[in-house]
Structure 1
């Protein structure tokens, strides 16, 4: 193309296959060997991206050794870029295998006559201090460079000293006296002293050193009262106190003294900032009376008129952090407490920022009182103040952040005490209706108000129902697309509380769909599907699937259309056939839904791409289809009680099998088969649950609810035909809880109703005197009718459409065959050293719901293919090892013996046995363990074919 710059170092182009690690490293190595300094620099700056893409030790070790060579023989200009690479690749430095060789090449430049080269060497060594914290020669070079006459070298030595002091206890202790003498020395310039003081914050490794540093800093505060010296010294003391913890009370008292006595506003602001950082360490570390002293200082300044709103806001920031602790709330919940008095006065301040901070603190104290069952003094003032602030902040687009803070406090108050829900719904709803639909707040403020209403509406039943006419009116008035989508979502949430659609609501949705673009239509349909309004979403998806240009998007929308169409087909609505409306039976509805789900699974598989896998959506649809198939099969099995009477030889079968239920004939086996299928479906839902590591809690609750439905139905069937569920007692009134959202409460009510309709355990007095009676089978039919008769709307989970967090595991198994597709050869009697390396990759919002605590690597070895299937199961070897990732990288090793029977296959001391020769299949799979100890089987699988061959025996001489 004209104007396109051709790049020698090929990034992955559009539509081009992705480069492997070796090819990318070879291209960068060519750039390093180039005679043009521009190409050399371009190659160097690309190494951090290479490390992020392929964070494996072999590649990182080789790359950094090459960069160390460039640093050793290159110019100072190239050394600057190597330094930048080391600083940007800090989390990969511990993967260097040849640390000694890397340091030797870098350290050789320290003997240069050029002070700039020595300075760059010191900074580079400082940037890699994490892997060489105890190198004595580096420590000596830093100490020597501190006495240099070149300011550039001294500044680099100070930087290196700070980096090594943070990593090495030995260096910090040994350099303490040196740094102290330089700070006290008259020959040291003031600017250099300001650079040396931050090193003191790392001198906390033993009590004597920390005490000496503390005395030195207190001496500096008295000797150097200048603003910069006070700021740097207080920061060093605060960091030192945060590390030792025992000095936190004294440091808090010192900062409060400066806040009260020092007249300089800059020092007051800095003291409040440092108090804010100490507050994050925990309110329990603060001395008794410190919060009262802070409030008294602020109150005194307010009375004197010497405090501005900035200092008051910083003070409220500190109190806000402290109020997150139950200790602070419990000590200040009385009516006359200084904290409540200050915040009550401040929440009516003309400065909106001050008022928002104050009301946030009051709301937290009130929430604590509600949760602990204590009287909340002034909660009426908090509610009225929040109502006023919401109205005021909604008028100005510049206060959107403060409006969201107030709305967040509102939602928390409603969570702690649901009686506030109608009050805030009325206040927020009236503000929403009165918002200017043409103004700027329609883009920000109105959306925030809608989000708050949605959050409150999910806390209480029918909370948004009084706002329904206002929502419909606002839909007609507003012209902003995003606001229309949010209002439609509120409408879906309101109707999802167990109500049916009326003509006015449907007409409002149709008007919105006609007036918005395709993306907004998709979001509206997605919201409808998430709340179970599948008849609405089906029409939208049907119109959208033919308007996209991409084949994958077409199949994705077709799959969504078929899924929602299947669920809407289950609704108990009259169907029009030949101009006459007739009501479909349960079997017809189930069969129609199953056919649509089968087509949906095919469409979703066709829509999957390597970059966007739709595995969850496909499995979710597949399991839903299986559940509906179990329902229709159960329905046919129940009806076979009448259509297939027991045979004449039933009594003989009962005697032969010693199973009394065989006297009922074919229905017994059919019901037992249905129970087994329902159990399998529940297990499949559990497997799907364990594979959804990145799913939000609502999606996991949705899967758990569907799994519970399968278990309830399986127990009910087994009560009738005998099995595990037959041992259960008569069902009691059991409440299921899958979450507080509207859609989850609906599923919980459904499970409760299914449990109530379950057949009893005792015999029924229906005249037949048997366990499988018409009355008990009728209970099963009633349960199926409830689940598949349109009485229950299935809400599709959020994870079906989008993942808010992304976590993936990439495995690399070695050795690999020299020729792709061929097995690895292993002599019989030898052991295979298997190394598994892996990398965790995260999306933009890592660890949003759960984080990775460890990775469990499982190695399974299948015996030679000549062994039959029954022996294969008994000869399967499986080894496991749990490793903790370090900077998202993990590695483990296994030692496998595959060739000889009875040989050991060990993993770090564990062992198992192999058998025979031939070709084995070694499979490595990864599972994720979160911080709660839950196992998530969502990792990849990597297979390796190993051929075990016999060594040719040497012929003996006669």
Structure 2
């Protein structure tokens, strides 16, 4: 119920390191065992150890141990180590002792056993990324290519492919060798097929690439066999896709084989390679190549050609140039798609309609009116009807067709009514997976234009009631029930609930025995701002869970829903009492959330989100109390004197002015809290971030309104405030409406200022600045903002993208909790290493481009100094370094200076910079304590002696200096 959430960042770095050392020690015992089984078991556990503790020290030590076993062990153990190297490719560059690692493995290359040499070559190929320019290994690969053992030759070919991809020197030096072997008569045909793929990596300079292309083109007529043609065409395509300059020639070559070669395998592979070359862009293709491809596909009636051919065309139409050229209905591309849009094969028809949809949408986005739009929409509707009426269910093609419908509605909202009516007519005539797919399409269209779903409400309610009466529903029926309830929440967003719809939802929940389904329905209700429904559902679930943490989690959601339901209920009580009761409910929710937190689910975002919401409601209530002061506390009698002394016209109102200015500070603080929380939500979905932006703008708007009343500053925006951008999502649409209504009400404050300013100039008098009229406007703004439906963001419940950062700091104290001793006058070198860990869907919304590591040093207390100066403790030293992660690993080094003795607190914090150069305060944060002893001052003393010229003569046996605490009586 808590959703998939990343574990909390480890603040105690000594404990994970201890666990890593223990695990490495245990695996080392297994490696030293005399039993082969235990050795193998220890070897295969190393990749998991690297994933769990991916730090250079551990990886370097582990791979050196494995290299020792590789040198002394059997071929079977070497094969296991080879698999470890292949599975740990992204950790190989963390090896610091590369020379020693290579030396231990390279010793096996001189073995008399060809199997041992083969495994060694493959191991070098697996680690080629860290040793690309090792000449001795290059020489060993070239020598093994001439071996008489086929296993060794195949291993050398594998290593040659890996090194050619990494090393320009090796690729250039091996070009002639490989070409001679391919052209040589002594090389078998099977071996030539394995050697040719090496040539695809000869792209490091134009001369070598041209020579390799010429060689492959000469091989095509010499070796016309199917296997050779397929391998050579694949090699040429990979080479052209890398160099880009050979794409036009390669496209023409592939079109030639597509037309002239009678073998279906060759035709199919040619189309696949054209698909690969279409991805860089249609602008690279030679003139006429696109038309030639379309002509060939148009004249072919074979499905083996139509499907891959249409796939190539679909990639090509992603280019605006192609869409513009085929915007008219009389082009060959439109003819091809029109001809097959009514194909009896749904896959072909869906592909053709998808191409036409892309052309139309591209033209709509460019504000160009394409031809034949009605024909495309008619074909799409026909395909949807055909698939829904067909007894043989094909949900894959139906999803494709519905995606085209949603795409068209997104590009041109006028089509929304048409497709909603079509899908609504089929909603109660299909079952199973089709119902869920159609509901998803309706929800996608409804999120673009919610009003289009209102006519379908009776049909959705009827279908929901029929499913709710089933005693033992299947999983598909349960999912359908959740989708139907979500549709109702979408279409009723911004509308009042009638009794029939409310009772239908309540009956669905009451008749269901699937508690998880009820929770999902309640979660959807609060996500779309229907808190009364959500509170009813969550109230029933609170006592029906098996875990104490789940109980408090549901109690938290229930209290939050009840608080928001109170705010939107106009008939319950006055605004002040509703705000006070809502704050009480939120405080209960925060307390329940603390009880629901666990070490693996810290729920920090949820707690902070609700705390800021409670703070905002408290500020609104305080603003109402402040506005009422005008009627309760009259202006002071000495108001004129105060104005003369302070030169502040607003001070003549006395107490209310100061209280309103306090409200301004509170709203500003609340907006800053929203911004700080926004910066920590790196993994949040776009809708969540949009909601948080709108909430921050609400605080800013209220702050500006109050500031306009109680100060001489008027910062309310004249034009419409953009809340969340142009395309506001459905979840936050009602929140935006409330903000816009509040903004329109706030414009009256500016009008009041202008009118009173004109009146004061004409009458040459001072006007009352804080008036009852302005106070009433402020109360109206508070009422509007309090009643605005608050959607609970998705990130509150689920994380679709999970990213965490783990830091390792050196040096570390020998015992956790103690301090690190640094000699006075010296500096401390701090090394920060970090690993970025991802969940199942990494980079779904945003990716990490850079890491910002900041080290803060602050003096906490002076050593042996009772009168510690507090100003010294305020002096903070901050060092910052920006690093770019490499394969999710980064490191930074700092040199810290300590100007005086005492105890220092060192805080290391990490921040994230995404691909759009936005900074996110994700953490983690770790701290160290450093103790620096104060320098011991030495006092000079004089020893009595004989002086002939007034100078003191020092006796050689006495000390010249003594320590301050060793006073001597002279």
Q: Distance in 1 between matches of 2:754 and 2:54?
A: 64
Alignment gaps of 5+ in structure 1: 1-15, 303-307, 437-441, 575-582, 901-915
* Corresponding position of 1:747: 735
1:600 paired to 2:589: yes
Q: Secondary structure at the match of 2:837?
A: strand
Is contact 1:855–1:926 with CA below 8 Å preserved after alignment? yes
Partner SS for 2:767: coil
Q: In the alignment, does 2:639 pair up with 1:650?
A: yes
Deviation at 1:18, TM superposition (A): 11
1:957 counterpart residue number:
959
User: Bigger CA drift: 541-550 or 325-334?
Assistant: 325-334
| Cα pair distance change 1:139/1:334, threshold 3 Å | same
Q: State which of 428, 438, 445 in structure 2 corresponds to 1:449.
A: 438
Tell me what 2:189 maps to.
Answer: 190
In the TM superposition, residue 728 of structure 1 has moved relative to its aligned partner by 2.8
Q: Is the 8 A contact 2:144 2:152 kept in 1?
A: yes
The answer to whether 1:689 aligns with 2:678 is yes
Query: How many angstroms does 1:953 deviate by?
Result: 7.2
User: Secondary structure of the residue that 1:742 maps to in structure 2?
Assistant: coil
1:827–1:951: 8 Å Cα contact kept in structure 2? no
The answer as to whether partners of 2:447 and 2:729 remain within 8 angstroms in 1 is yes
Match of 1:319 among 302, 305, 313: 313
Answer yes or no: is 1:375 the counterpart of 2:369.
yes
Contact 2:809 2:831 in 1 (8 A): yes
1:589-621 residue CA offsets vs partner (Å, 9 max, x unmatched): 000000010111111122111212211111110
Deviation at residue 429 of structure 1 after TM alignment: 1.3
Query: Deviation of residue 17 (structure 1)?
Result: 10
**Who is 1:420 aligned against?**
415
Aligned length: 903
Q: State the alpha-carbon separation in 1 of the partners of residues 603 and 652 from structure 2.
A: 48
Taking structure 1 as the reference length, the TM-score comes to: 0.92
Which fold has the larger relative contact order, with Cα–Cα distance below 8 Å and residues 6 or more apart in sequence?
Answer: 2
**For the Cα contact (< 8 Å) 2:681–2:922, is it kept in 1?**
yes
Report the counterpart of residue 871 of structure 1 in structure 2. Answer: 871
Q: Is the 8 A contact 1:397 1:445 kept in 2?
A: no
| Match among 789, 798, 801 for residue 802 of structure 1 | 798
Note the C-alpha offset of 1:650. 2.2
**In structure 2, distance between residues paired with 1:22 and 1:762:** 73
Q: 1:874 to 1:488 in 2, by over 3 A?
A: same
Q: Does 1:213 align with 2:212?
A: yes
Query: Quick check: 1:781 aligned with 2:775?
Result: no
Report SS of the residue matched to 1:549: coil
1:727 to 2:714 alignment: yes
| Pairs within 5 Å for 1:348-497 | 348-394=342-388, 395=390, 398-436=393-431, 442=432, 444-478=433-467, 479=473, 480-496=477-493
Q: Check conservation: 2:850, 2:884, Cα contact below 8 A.
A: yes
Q: Give me the TM-score of the superposition, normalised by structure 2.
A: 0.91
- Residue 54 of structure 1 deviates from its aligned partner by 0.6
Q: How is 1:215-294 mapped onto 2 (pairs within 5 angstroms)? A: 215-294=214-293
- CA 1:729 to 1:207, structure 2 compared with 1: closer, same or farther past 3 Å? closer
Which segment is superposed worse, 944-953 or 333-342?
944-953
User: How many Å apart are 1:325 and its aligned residue?
Assistant: 1.8
Moved more, 625-634 or 318-327: 318-327
Once the two structures are superposed, residues 641-663 of structure 1 have per-residue CA deviations (whole angstroms, 9 ceiling, x without a partner) of: 11111222322322222212111
* RMSD over equivalenced CA pairs, Å: 1.8
C-alpha contact (below 8 Å) 2:443/2:487 kept by paired residues: yes
Name the CA distance, whole Å, in 1 between partners of 2:542 and 2:291.
64
Distance, in Å, in 1 between the alignment partners of 2:173 and 2:721 is 68
Matched, 1:515 2:511: yes
Q: Cα–Cα, structure 1 residues 57 and 597, in superposed 2: closer, same or farther, change >3 Å?
A: same
Tell me, yes or no, if the aligned pair for 1:731 and 1:756 is still in contact at 8 Å: no
Q: Is this contact kept in 1: 2:846–2:915, CA < 8 A?
A: yes
Match of 2:203 in 1: 204
1:840–1:735 CA distance, 2 compared to 1 (3 A): closer
C-alpha deviations, 1:35-76, integer Å up to 9, x for none?
111111011011011111111000000000000001000000
Cα displacement (A) at 1:727? 3.1
Of the structure 1 ranges 925-934 and 281-290, higher mean CA displacement relative to structure 2 is found in 281-290
**Counterparts in 2 of 1:872 and 1:276: CA distance versus 1, 3 Å:** farther
Aligned to 2:769: 771
Provide, for residues 194-221 of structure 1, a one-character-per-residue CA deviation record: whole Å limited to 9, x for no partner.
0000000011111221111111101111
Of residues 608, 613, 620, the one that matches 2:602 is 613
Deviations 1:883-919 (A, max 9, x none): 1000000000000001x2xxxxxxxxxxxxxxx2100
Provide the C-alpha distance between the structure 1 equivalents of 2:938 and 2:91, rounded to a whole number of angstroms: 50
Does residue 710 in structure 1 map to residue 707 in structure 2?
no
Partner of 1:31: 30
CA distance in 2, matches of 1:114, 1:823: 55
1:763 Cα offset (Å)? 5.0
The corresponding residue for 1:922 is 906
Out of 111-120 and 30-39, give the one that drifted further.
Answer: 30-39
Question: Paired residue for 2:531?
Answer: 534
Alpha-carbon distance between aligned partners in 2 of 1:552 and 1:730, rounded to the nearest angstrom: 46
Please give the residue correspondences for 1:855-870 in structure 2 after superposition, counting only pairs within 5 Å. Answer: 855-865=851-861
- 1:219-266 CA-partner distances (Å, limit 9, x unpaired): 111100011000000000000101110000000000000000101101
In structure 2, the CA distance between the partners of 1:399 and 1:897, relative to structure 1 (3 Å rule), is same
Query: Residue 911 of structure 2: SS of its match in structure 1?
Result: strand
Cα distance in 1 between the residues matched to 2:721 and 2:676: 26
Task: For 1:547 and 1:734, locate their aligned partners in 2 and report how far apart those are by CA, in whole Å.
Answer: 45
Shift of 1:684: 0.6
- Is structure 2 residue 328 aligned with structure 1 residue 339? no
Cα pair distance change 1:782/1:158, threshold 3 Å: same
- For 1:662 and 1:930, the matched residues in 2 are separated by 48
> How many Å separate the matches in 2 of 1:387 and 1:347?
11
Aligned twin of 1:936 = 920
Q: 1:953 to 1:188 in 2, by over 3 A?
A: farther
- Asked if 2 retains the 8 angstrom alpha-carbon contact of 1:459 and 1:740, the reply is no
Query: Retained in 1: the 8 A contact 2:527–2:794?
Result: yes
Q: Deviations over 1:650-702 (max 9, x none)?
A: 22322222212111010000000001100110011001111100000000000
Hey, what's the Cα distance between the residues in 1 that align with 2:147 and 2:270? 35
Say if 1:732 and 1:756, in contact at 8 Å, map to a contact too: no
Q: Shift in Å at residue 735 of structure 1?
A: 5.4
Question: CA-to-partner distance for each residue in 1:913-956, whole Å, 9 max, x for gaps?
Answer: xxx21000010111100010101001110000111113667898
Cα drift, residue 299 of structure 1: 2.2
SS at match of 1:859: strand
CA 1:929–1:872: 2 relative to 1, 3 Å: farther
1:10 corresponds in structure 2 to none
Per-residue CA deviations over 1:489-532 (Å, capped at 9, x if unaligned) read 00001110x21000110111012102321100000000000011
1:19 CA displacement: 7.3
Question: For residues 82 and 910 of structure 2, what CA distance do their matches in structure 1 show?
Answer: 36
Query: Larger radius of gyration, structure 1 or 2?
Result: 2
Q: CA deviation at 1:560?
A: 0.4
C-alpha distance in 2 between matches for 1:272 and 1:717: 67
Please state if 1:126 is matched with 2:125.
yes
Q: Are the structure 2 counterparts of residues 44 and 154 from structure 1 closer, same or farther at C-alpha, using a change threshold of 3 Å?
A: same
Judged with a 3 Å threshold, the aligned counterparts in structure 2 of structure 1 residues 62 and 729 are, in CA distance, closer, same or farther, namely: closer
- Partner of 1:844, secondary structure, is coil
Which of 822, 833, 852 is residue 818 of structure 2 equivalent to? 822
- Distance across 2 between alignment mates of 1:320 and 1:919: 66
Q: Assess, with a 3 A threshold, how the Cα gap between structure 1 residues 713 and 869 changes in structure 2: closer, same or farther.
A: farther
